[in-house]
Amino acid sequence: MVTEAHRVELEQGTDLHHIIEQVQADAIPRILERDGAAVAVIVPPASFDGSPIEPKSKRNQDKLLALAGAWSDLDAGPLIAHVYEGRRISPPSPSIDV
């Protein structure tokens, strides 16, 4: 049974020790928020899989790699012809003075 996490607004003097005791007692995760934005999550040990926390870019690496070659079955000829035609009919852009 999955229980929805309780949200706790962090304010000056918030008793984190009490929040941790509540999580231990009822096994319901708490999402700590400041000004309506989540800043941390406290989960019971049984819910934590122990895996190291990775940056989002690392977690998405497999998804990004799966995109490589996703269009390999498309015929690129018409696209390339369109690009070259666009270059032919458009005047060159003025150079940028640096």
The tens-digit pLDDT sequence of the chain (98 residues) is 457 899 999 999 999 999 999 999 999 999 999 998 999 999 998 888 776 666 667 767 877 788 887 777 888 899 899 999 998 898 888 888 76
Question: What does DSSP say about strands 37-42 and 30-34: parallel, antiparallel, or unpaired?
Answer: antiparallel
The domain spans of the chain are: 6-89
**Measured between alpha carbons, how far is 8 from 18 in angstroms, rounded to an integer?**
12
Q: What is the pLDDT of residue 55?
A: 65
Per the CB < 8 A criterion, the answer to whether 32 and 42 are in contact is yes
Q: What is the pLDDT of residue 8?
A: 94
Q: What is the pLDDT of residue 93?
A: 81
Q: What is the pLDDT of residue 34?
A: 93
Q: What do you get for the CA distance between the two ends of the chain, in Å?
A: 62
Question: Quick one: which H or E segment has residue 65?
Answer: helix 61-67
